[in-house]
Amino acid sequence: MTAGEHPEQRGAPPAGVAPGRARAGRWLGVAIGAALAAWALYMLALGKAFSPAVAPSSWRDLGILWDNAHQFLRQRRYLPGYYFPPPAYLLVSLYGQLGHDLAFRLYLLVQELSLGAGVWAWTRLIGLFERPRAWPAIGAAVLAASFFIHVDMAMSNANAETFALVSLALLFCARPGLSAGAFALSLAIKPYSQTLLLPWMAWRGRWRWVAAVLAWLLLFYVALPSAWFGLRGAAELTGQWLGALAGVGGGEASQHLSIGGGLSVLFGLPENAVQVRMAALGLQLGWLAAVGAFLAPALRRRADGVAAAYEAAALLLVALPLGGHQQPARFIALLPSTLLIAAAAFDARRPAPARLVLAAILAAIGVASWTTPVTPAYFLLTLGLCALALAGLTLARVRAPAPLEATAPPNAAPVVAPAPGV
């Protein structure tokens, strides 16, 4: 979309919206934008970005990454427990050369900018600003996922950065060079559910993009570690990392951050009890079956535009309730789903009952995530939240109204024509 192509970008209200209501909507948008900016500043202050001195204990996950990277480079062996891939340790070690105090303060700002960039990318992917009530939808979506955003920011983890990289890669995938590099960088930092987007893009015929991602992955996973440790050393370290991942995936190092941990508390049984393991397996298989049913239409036809955005959002949910090392900070990946659900909930063309149900789903996600104590039982709730998000995506997709032919820009991302990205 280029400047001047769309009437909303020239200040005119969307079709069918009275000028008075459009002005009120703009002021509401300003208020919501200001509230989000104030929250961002609060999070920066909470993270001690403006403090005269920052103790190393305040670096949280970034500090742990630096410590692990130092040991990784010195001992030349993979240290299980944090599960970042070898290139992540190399990249974070290079970043730390700025000086840890300065690097930490910059990192807090990068987190905020990453979150904003990721949300902006998804508003473009789903054509949110081509319709009224865009800002209320953004506010509701962010509010629903706010607990997980808060945890990620407070922990100085890397989920906001990977969320932004994946979102921008999807938006600009028609330009495979840089967009594939952004996606590969997200996999080099913290591979998670976004890994599933690679075969999905191949299925959709984005072969140039997939080839470019694989070339970038060779750079991050082979060339970069080999420059440090040699080809054989890099292969051994990658093998150790994959072995550690297999262990945590099988529950060997769960630390109770799993569905099994939650069931163990619920049943009052050890986590390795047969009943707990079978019940956890059943819930996980049920979750995968539900996602498979949601994605089944993709096997019959290759969606474009907003339909493809629904599929990508669902894929980003897949791994959240699985495995033995779940963390609330990772659930920032709910944001694409909450944005799509909120966009549908604020779309006046949809039936009122469907909109009320979608609004109730957003409220349930937000309230439950903030009010439930983070104990091992919390990780049963996370499965429920993912199921709610998937139900919201299903209802929003089924009830999707006809495209806004009159108001859409010629090369729009989602609502009308094939998106420039997904």
Residue matched to tokens 């407070």: 154
pLDDT of residue 18: 57
CA angle 192, 198, 201 (to 5 degrees): 140
Give dist(CA 228, CA 225) in Å, integer.
Answer: 5
Burial class (CB in 10 A: 0-12, 13-18, 19+), 227: exposed
Residue count (the chain): 422
DSSP string, 131-182: SS-HHHHHHHHHHHTHHHHHHHHHHT-SHHHHHHHHHHHHHTTTSHHHHHHH
Q: Could you tell me the two tokens for 72?
A: 């990784």
Q: Which of 191, 165, 209, 2 is nearest to 84 (CA)?
A: 191
- Residue-level pLDDT, tens digit, the chain, 422 residues: 333 333 334 344 555 555 656 666 677 778 888 888 888 888 888 788 788 888 888 888 999 999 999 988 888 888 777 788 999 999 999 999 999 999 999 999 999 999 999 999 999 999 988 877 889 999 999 999 999 999 998 898 899 999 999 999 999 998 988 999 999 999 999 998 999 999 999 999 899 999 999 999 999 999 999 999 999 999 999 998 988 877 665 444 444 678 888 888 888 888 888 998 899 899 999 999 999 999 998 888 777 788 899 999 999 999 998 877 678 888 999 999 999 999 999 998 899 999 999 999 999 999 999 998 877 777 788 899 999 999 999 999 986 665 543 333 334 333 333 345 66
- Confidence (pLDDT) at 7: 37
Burial (CB < 10 A; 0-12, 13-18, 19+), residue 255, is middle
60: left (phi over 0), alpha (psi -120 to 50) or beta: left
Q: Which of 332, 361, 320 is nearest to 145 (CA)?
A: 332
Per-residue pLDDT at 406: 34
Q: Residue 327: which of 383, 258, 243, 264 has the closest Cα? A: 258
Cα–Cα nearest to 103, from 112, 93, 113: 93
pTM tops 0.85, yes or no: yes
| CA end-to-end span of the chain | 14
Yes or no: say if 245 and 83 are a contact pair by the CB < 8 Å rule.
Answer: yes
How far apart CA 138 and CA 420 sit, in angstroms, is: 21
What are the CA-CA distances from residue 272 to residues 243, 254, 265, 321 (Å)?
Answer: 20, 11, 12, 18
Residue type, 293: A
What is the per-residue pLDDT for 353? 94
Q: Which residue has the tokens 């604020």?
A: 346
pLDDT of residue 6: 39
Please answer whether residues 266 and 377 qualify as being in contact, where contact means their C-beta atoms are separated by less than 8 angstroms.
Answer: yes
Tokens 């987007």, residue located: 197
Distance CA 313, CA 193 (A): 10
Nearest residue to 147 (alpha-carbon basis) of 374, 396, 392, 375? 374
